[in-house]
Chains A and B, each alone.
Chain A
Amino acid sequence: MRDTFRVHMGWLHSWVGFLAGLVLTCVFATGTLSVFDKEITQWMQPEVSLDKPPAPTAVALQRAAETMVTEQEKDLFAFITLPSRRDPVIRVLHYDGHEFIGPVLDPVDGHRFPARQTAGGQFFFDFHYALRNGPVLGCTIVTLLGVCLLLTVGSGIAIQIKAMWPDLILFRPFGARPRAWLDAHLVTGVLFLPFLIMITYTGTVIRARDILPPHPFLPAQQAAVPVPAPATPPAKGNTPAPTSRTGPMPPPLGPLISRAQEIMHAERCELIIFSKDQIRIFRNDDASLFLTRDLVTFSRTDGHFISSLIQKGAAVRTVELLHGLHYARFSSPLLSWLYFLSGMACTVLMGSGLVLFLMKRRKTSGQMILFQTAEGLTIGVLVGLPLAIAGLLWANRLLPAHMPDRMHAEIQVFFALWMLSALHGLVCAFKNTASSCWRTQLTGLAFVALGLPVVDVLTHSHGWRHDATRYYTLDALIILMGLVALIIARKLHRHAS
């Protein structure tokens, strides 16, 4: 066997890239959707009207405080998010172990919108950063995969750098099949390399502590940070008294928010967290590239100022910059779209890498069980995931708006569709009919995606004149996805016949 530097790096790139890529493609796809998580939540809650001014009134804040107290009486760790440019409503949220969910209030009169229960864009965010496995196991896996991706990118650069210079962005979509896939892989890899490295590195850094060995700092930190209340409701018969976690009704929030803005020299505040005897008001984190967590603390009893935490210094700014670059909360709509497109391109990069891996080995290992498993799983990732996402959106429109436990029903539809797709892919791969499986599933994806706008129209869940941008944009993106699936399916069909 040849024993050269490029062979070593090629082996590392292929195997680490494929094994990690199966999950990383899903992580990148859901992360890309998370760029517009608030907008997706709004699409999934058409009952919420968004044509309100973003400044909350005193009445609305009072209602929000009352709702928060009611939620805390249910033993939920509820907090308030104030209206913002992207989400001009008041939300009283709590963490349910996966998503931040809760009632939505009008920022003018404080009435509660009869919004349907849904995980919304938060579902994709949770999948992106924890694979729905919680902040310990899930985050650790994703962070380790982030390191694997950095390794794959490094080895990819090492093997391609010599060949890339003459044909830096050469793309031959109508060339021979492996050539076209390799071009797609290289073009997206070259053009979006800075973004790929930046987003992977910053994402890995956010939870770096999960993968590094524990050190003496951890106990010190754990002692300093109070443990939040459990998100799950207590068991029956063991319910604590309602007042055990609930403090007194907070004082009017309007003056406290103004005071906090004044102290932090902030244009807006975004988040209000309530403990039993304190109110913490956080600065908005979308004002600059640096994602800050500056806050002002007031007494919950009478609203007097207790303390403020405004972090400064080069080290703090570095950490804030790394977080800010990844979360992209600072971005204008144009920059958000750039993040979205770059994320899409990186997903295509990984998807084409998975296909290339299979194409290169089909001749020599096509009959091996491991290869067939790999192909089945690849079908599940590349077609099954978009199918499941479109299915989730179908479920959002078709399930009754006030169905009990509606949110979990939506999520079950997502995972059931994904599982069916992966199972179908595996069965077909084992029966050596993988190519027909690709065509069938892509046609199914095209049908589901192109049908979604029709379902959206037929269910009459919202008007098409007010707040129409959110509906048109998501529907247009889904149509685009359906058309791409249809074109690929037709091309595969032509190739087979």
Chain B
Amino acid sequence: MPDAVRKPVSRPAAPAARRRIEKRHAVYKRMAQLATAAVLAYLSAHFIVMHTVLRDGVENRVAITVAEAVATAALPLLLLLGYGARTHGWGLWILLALCGLIAACNLIMP
């Protein structure tokens, strides 16, 4: 369990100003990670739709609408995966690999 793996470290001796700066940096880091996860999740969702466009053709409106529904469901899940799994250090890597995989699939598709 993540909570058990990383025990909180108490640092009573650290001066308040330093802790404030550390806290601010941690928040910036979180925001950067969330933004990266959002971009990767968004790209993955786009590639899912493009996969259907390439496979079924632009005239297949219904199939593309269904693909958009799938992409919309995947978007928050991928975001949670990318951001949430950062505790273990592999969230963004997984998301990057997934995004690359779908993009590669789209590229090699005849």
Contact = CB atoms under 8 A, between A and B. Distances in A.
Interface string B11-55: 000000000001100110010001000000010011001100100
Given A147-B75, A221-B61, A318 B69 contact: yes
Interface stretch (A128-136, A201-209, A350-358, A375-383): A201-209
A180 to B, nearest CB: 26
A147 B83 contact: no
A83 B77 CA distance: 43
Interface string B48-70: 01100100001101111110110
Contact of A319 (B27, B49, B58, B62): B62
B58 A212 contact: no
Contacts of B95: none
Majority SS of interface residues in chain A? helix
Contacts of A315: 62-63, 65-66
Most chain B beta carbons < 10 A, residue from A6, A158, A315: A315
A174 interface: no
Contact of B34 (A12, A215, A318): A12
A208 B50 contact: no
Given A1-B22, A8-B83, A220-B59, A150 B66 contact: no
A480 to B, nearest CB: 34
Contacts of B72: 147, 201, 204-205, 208, 211-212
A477 interface: no
A318 B58 contact: no
**In this complex, which of B3, B62, B63, B72 has the most chain A Cβ atoms within 10 angstroms of its Cβ?**
B72
Given A3-B6, A8-B84, A217-B53, A319 B69 contact: yes
Nearest to B73: A201
- Secondary structure class of chain B's binding surface, majority of residues: helix
B99 interface: no
Contact of A208 (B9, B63, B71): B71
B5 to A, nearest CB: 8
A341 interface: no
B76 A313 contact: no
B63 A154 contact: no
Q: Name, among B6, B8, B68, the residue most crowded by chain A CB atoms within 10 Å (CB to CB).
A: B68
B2 interface: yes
Contact of A212 (B8, B30, B34, B68): B68
Interface of B: 2-3, 6, 8-9, 22-23, 26-27, 30, 34, 42, 45-46, 49-50, 53, 58-59, 61-66, 68-69, 71-73, 75-77, 79-80, 83-84, 86-87
30 contacts: A1-B22, A1-B23, A1-B26, A2-B8, A3-B26, A3-B87, A4-B2, A4-B6, A5-B2, A5-B3, A8-B83, A8-B86, A8-B87, A12-B34, A150-B76, A151-B79, A154-B76, A154-B77, A204-B72, A205-B69, A208-B72, A211-B72, A212-B71, A215-B49, A216-B53, A217-B58, A217-B61, A313-B62, A315-B66, A319-B65
Given A6-B2, A313-B62, 16 more contacts: A2-B6, A4-B6, A5-B87, A8-B84, A151-B76, A154-B77, A154-B80, A204-B72, A205-B68, A211-B72, A212-B49, A212-B68, A212-B71, A212-B72, A213-B42, A319-B69
Which 10 residue pairs spanning A and B have beta carbons closest together?
A5-B2, A150-B76, A2-B8, A208-B72, A208-B68, A5-B87, A315-B62, A151-B76, A220-B58, A205-B69
